[in-house]
Structure formats: structure tokens, C-alpha cells
């Protein structure tokens, strides 16, 4: 792969050739063909900086970094000078000048990384920002879907749940149509975007059973309780009856189709215990695939030789 962005904020930062390259490199990493001996002379330093909780993303990046043979720094944002009011740009520039090559950053604030598009202070991977995007999750989801079905052209994936507040959903609807997939967003009206805001190839529905009947894959989203007010909590109480997916329901409808979930799952809300324990549930395959896909993303970004990184765009005196 000759080019790779220095800021991976959004799926739209990647073109199809780059995504195909990532998928092929991920397969190699999964088959353990090229692990661990990449950086014999000069070990790159890679930091995670998570200002919001995470189990899957942070630890899979930590594992991917160490499998590649790079040095791993867990930058603790809570005890850093960010808490003394230092700006994000100064923080990134400090990490860069300490020799950090890439920072994987998570925040509850949306679109915070866009300010670094022209002059990145450091190479940055978005580990999920507010309700904007979670591009690396979408890429590992695509990898998992391709393992389940090597040709996704014309296949339909239904995304159930809180589509308005889901950064994973926002990345998936940009990525999957590049592989010919049709997408149906399904849920109660307050979880669905306006029809006129939907990209080409994406529909919405408020009818669970009709949507399941049309789908080849289900993708369930967590209800983002932390992003809702109290009133909506009442609506969430009835969510399982109207939009939740149970193993019994899929059996009754004779739909033996894969069910994906980025995690963490609210068992009893978007899905039931029997489904998560069944062979239809692919959430653990997604977790397994997160390591090779994130290794591929890190390696691809490391080999990009962007001369703008760390340049301070100020007046010369």
C-alpha cells in the first residue's frame, strides 16, 4: 500500500484500494504470516489515549501494537495535563516530540479531530468520537462479514437500534455500500435519522419483523443510555418487546442469519441471553478479528511518510 492517511477520523479518509489493502493485510496477520518482526532496528512508539471507557477497542489496540513489536504507551488522559487545561493540540505535539508515532484517541466529544486534517500534530486513529464515527470498528465488522460471505454485493444488513447516536452505525453506512451492500436502519422513530439525510443505498423502517424478513445479516446497536434524557428511558423499557431480537423470534421466522454486535451488549434490551449464547451470534468473532484488522491499520499508517506531521504552522521570527 503506497498511501495511507495520517489522520484516520472517518471511513471517508480511506479509498476502496486502501480498504482492500487493509483487508488483505488483516488476513495475512490472521494467518500469522507476518507478525512481530517488522521493527527490528527502530521500534515505533504507539500510544492509546482514551478519555471515555472502553474494553474492546483499547485492549485490542494494545494487543495489536505489541504483536507488531512496537512500544506501547497507555497515555492516561485523566491524570495528564489535559486536566490542567492544556489543549489537545499541545498534548498531541508533546507526545510527538517525545517520539510517539501514532496516538489512538477516544473521546465523548464529536468531530474534535477534524481540526487536525491539514496539519496533523501526530498520526492519529479515531478510536470513537462522540456520536460521529468509529472507523476501525466498521473495518473489522466488514472483515467479519467478508469471512461469513465473501461476496457482499446485493446483500442486506439491517442495523437495529439507536442509529442516531451510534458512531459505529455512522461509519458502517459509509463503508458497507462500497461493497455493494444494502442497509436498512430499523428502530423507533426517535432512533432513526430523517429520511432525507440518508445516503444512497440506505433505507429505514420502523417494522422489526418486516426488516428481519428482508435481511441477510442483523447488526444490533447498544441503546446509548448515556446520550439520552430521562424521558427516553421509558421508551427503552419497552424496546425489547418491539425491536429486540431473540433466538425464539428468529426460530419462529425461520431466519438462520448471522447477528453482529459491536459490544458492549445490553442483554434483555437489544437481544436476549439465548441469542448471545447461540451460534448465530458473531460478536466474539468480531472481537477476534479486531486484532489483525487493527494491526493492519497501524502498520499501514506507520509506513506513510507524511512530511506534515508535527509541523507547527506558526509565524517564523
CB of 268 to ligand CP, least distance (A): 19
169 binds ligand CP (CB under 6 A): no
CB of 26 to ligand CP, least distance (A): 17
CB of 41 to ligand CP, least distance (A): 33
CB of 228 to ligand CP, least distance (A): 17
Binding part of the chain for ligand CP, among 41-49, 68-76, 97-105, 261-269 by CB under 6 A, reads 261-269
Site track for ligand CP across 170-209, x = CB under 6 A: ----------------------------------------
CB of 216 to ligand CP, least distance (A): 22
Closest CA to 70 of 248, 303, 309: 303
Per CB under 6 A, contacts with ligand CP among 290-309 are none
* Gyration radius (Cα) of the chain, Å: 20
Please count the other Cβ atoms lying within 10 Å of the Cβ belonging to residue 10: 23
In angstroms, rounded to a whole number, what is the distance separating the alpha carbons of residues 195 and 205?
A: 10
Residue with cell 434483555: 268
The dihedral built from the CA positions of residue 25, 102, 288 and 213, taken in this order, carries a sign that is negative
Closest CA to 212 of 248, 238, 264: 248
CB of 189 to ligand CP, least distance (A): 25
242 binds ligand CP (CB under 6 A): no
Site track for ligand CP across 128-167, x = CB under 6 A: x-----x--x------------------------------
Let me know how long the chain is. 317
Please count the other Cβ atoms lying within 10 Å of the Cβ belonging to residue 123: 26
Contact 263, 283 (CB under 8 A): yes
54 binds ligand CP (CB under 6 A): yes
The dihedral built from the CA positions of residue 57, 58, 63 and 66, taken in this order, carries a sign that is positive
Site track for ligand CP across 101-130, x = CB under 6 A: ---------------------------x--
Helix (H, G, I), strand (E, B), or coil: what is residue 266?
A: coil
* Angle at the Cα of 313 from the Cα atoms of 307 and 317, rounded to 5 degrees: 120
263 binds ligand CP (CB under 6 A): yes
CB of 262 to ligand CP, least distance (A): 4
Site residues (vs ligand CP, CB under 6 A): 54-57, 128, 134, 137, 262-264
Amino acid at each position: 500500500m503506497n498511501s495511507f492517511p495520517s489522520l484516520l477520523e472517518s471511513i471517508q479518509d480511506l479509498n476502496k484500494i486502501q480498504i482492500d489493502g487493509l483487508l488483505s493485510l488483516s488476513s495475512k496477520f490472521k494467518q500469522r504470516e507476518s507478525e512481530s518482526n517488522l521493527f527490528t532496528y527502530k521500534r515505533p512508539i504507539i500510544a492509546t489515549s482514551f478519555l471515555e471507557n472502553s474494553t474492546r477497542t483499547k485492549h485490542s489496540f494494545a494487543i495489536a501494537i505489541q504483536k507488531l513489536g512496537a512500544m506501547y504507551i497507555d497515555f492516561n488522559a485523566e491524570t495528564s495535563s489535559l486536566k490542567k487545561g492544556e489543549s489537545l493540540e499541545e498534548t498531541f505535539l508533546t507526545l510527538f516530540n517525545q517520539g510517539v508515532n501514532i496516538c489512538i484517541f477516544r473521546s465523548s466529544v464529536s468531530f474534535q479531530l477534524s481540526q487536525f486534517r491539514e496539519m496533523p500534530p501526530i498520526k492519529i486513529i479515531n478510536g470513537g468520537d462522540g456520536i460521529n464515527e468509529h472507523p476501525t470498528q466498521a473495518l473489522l465488522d466488514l472483515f467479519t462479514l467478508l469471512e461469513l460471505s465473501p461476496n457482499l454485493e446485493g446483500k442486506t444488513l439491517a442495523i437495529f437500534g439507536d442509529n442516531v447516536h451510534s458512531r459505529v452505525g455512522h461509519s458502517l453506512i459509509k463503508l458497507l455500500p462500497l461493497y455493494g451492500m444494502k442497509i436498512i436502519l430499523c428502530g423507533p422513530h426517535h432512533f432513526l435519522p430523517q429520511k432525507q439525510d440518508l445516503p444512497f443505498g440506505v433505507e429505514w423502517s420502523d417494522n422489526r419483523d418486516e426488516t428481519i424478513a428482508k435481511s441477510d445479516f442483523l447488526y444490533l446497536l447498544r441503546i446509548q443510555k448515556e446520550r439520552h434524557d430521562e424521558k427516553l428511558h421509558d421508551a427503552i423499557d419497552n424496546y425489547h418487546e418491539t425491536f429486540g431480537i431473540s433466538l425464539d423470534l428468529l426460530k419462529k421466522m425461520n431466519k438462520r442469519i448471522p447477528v453482529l454486535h459491536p459490544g458492549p451488549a445490553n442483554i434483555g434490551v437489544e437481544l436476549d441471553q439465548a441469542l448471545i449464547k447461540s451460534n448465530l451470534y458473531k460478536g466474539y468473532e468480531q472481537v477476534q478479528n479486531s486484532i489483525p484488522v487493527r494491526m493492519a491499520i497501524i502498520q499501514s499508517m506507520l509506513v506513510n511518510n507524511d512530511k506534515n506531521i508535527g509541523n507547527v504552522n506558526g509565524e517564523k521570527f
